Amino acid sequence: MRGEGTVRDLTCTGPLILVNAAHPLRVPADPELVELEGGVQLERRAAAALRACLRTVGGTAGILPVSGWRSRPEQQAIWDDTLAKEGLAFTQSYVAMPDCSEHQTGLAIDLGRRQENVDFIRPYFPDEGVCRAFRLAGQQGLLCSGDNCGGVVAASWRSTGR
């Protein structure tokens, strides 16, 4: 039987990292980052898996990487900006507190349908067309995020979408 300490230790080792409000980052991540597009960065292996999936579903032209790796100050700024513009309830629903976002690991990515005026906090990722194809590909190696945003992460790295 594993003790809680052991499980906690395992939540922050290797490429399988659990980060959320109940499991904040205890040590800053130091991922090897590569740029996907437009300054959006992702951990090297996650980026390769994402690119492969996008190619497989023909989604390179139709799906936009909206937000990938974030530093702690960037996550703080997103929290502060959203709080000022949208209020606490919205912010708590769609934005993770600093150190509670998987984006700080470099293993989380928010994707949206490529279009004018992409919503940074809630990118549009409809259940049709190439976005649907991408979601279906998730059953074969990519896991789509939960309810809160269009986030998708590669391979076994799962995002809660914040």
Given phi > 0 = left and psi -120 to 50 = alpha, else beta, which region is 87? Answer: left
Nearer to Zn ion, 59 or 123 (CB): 123
By CB under 5 A, tell whether 110 contacts Zn ion: yes
At 36, is the secondary structure helix, strand, or coil? strand
Interaction between residue 106 and Zn ion (CB under 5 A) = no
Instruction: Quote the least distance from Cβ 3 to Zn ion, whole Å.
Output: 31
Torsion of CA 28, 124, 66, 138, to 10 degrees: 70
What is the distance in angstroms between the CA of the first residue and the CA of the last residue of the chain?
31
Rg (CA), the chain: 15
Q: What is the distance between the alpha carbons of residues 159 and 107, in angstroms, rounded to a whole number? A: 8
Give the residue nearest to Zn ion (CB).
Answer: 151
- Options 86-94, 111-119, 135-143, 148-156: segment touching Zn ion (CB under 5 A): 148-156
Stretch in the footprint of Zn ion (CB under 5 A) among 40-48, 57-65, 119-127, 142-150: 142-150
Closest approach of Zn ion to the CB of residue 151, in Å: 3
Contact residues for Zn ion, defined by CB under 5 A? 110, 149, 151
